[in-house]
Amino acid sequence: DQQVKQNSPSLSVQEGRISILNCDYTNSMFDYFLWYKKYPAEGPTFLISISSIKDKNEDGRFTVFLNKSAKHLSLHIVPSQPGDSAVYFCAAGNAGNNRKLIWGLGTSLAVNP
């Protein structure tokens, strides 16, 4: 049973437009959420995170939104660039269950020039 779900296996957007990647979770105990980006033949790299005490966190072109009531978070990339083409993983955890993150299956983003 997937506690963290990324229901869109893939997404394609035009360069310069907004990319929106979605993630849903089922465990109401999760209080910390992260996004990692993965290029082919490389390991995932940390992108951005958000704590449950916030509903938005922004870092440059990347913004993560958290809707606790809906158990939903989303990653917005504006503007999208071809170099953003990668697989994006959503991960969630609980600070009390130290460091054990539950990961989604990933969404493959293709940004077309």
- Which of 21, 64, 104, 109 binds other proteins (CB under 8 A)? It is 104
Question: Strands 102-103, 86-93: parallel, antiparallel or unpaired by DSSP?
Answer: antiparallel
Of residues 49 and 74, the one with the C-beta less far from other proteins: 49
Of residues 18 and 46, the one with the C-beta less far from other proteins: 46
Among residues 59, 69, 1, the alpha carbon closest in space to that of 35 is found at 59
- Which of 21, 64, 91, 109 binds other proteins (CB under 8 A)? It is 91
Q: Which residue carries 């989604």 as its tokens? A: 104
11 and 107 in contact (C-beta within 8 Å)? yes
Which residues of the shown chain bind other proteins in the complex (CB under 8 A)?
Answer: 2, 32, 36, 41-46, 49, 51, 89, 91, 93-95, 98-101, 103-106
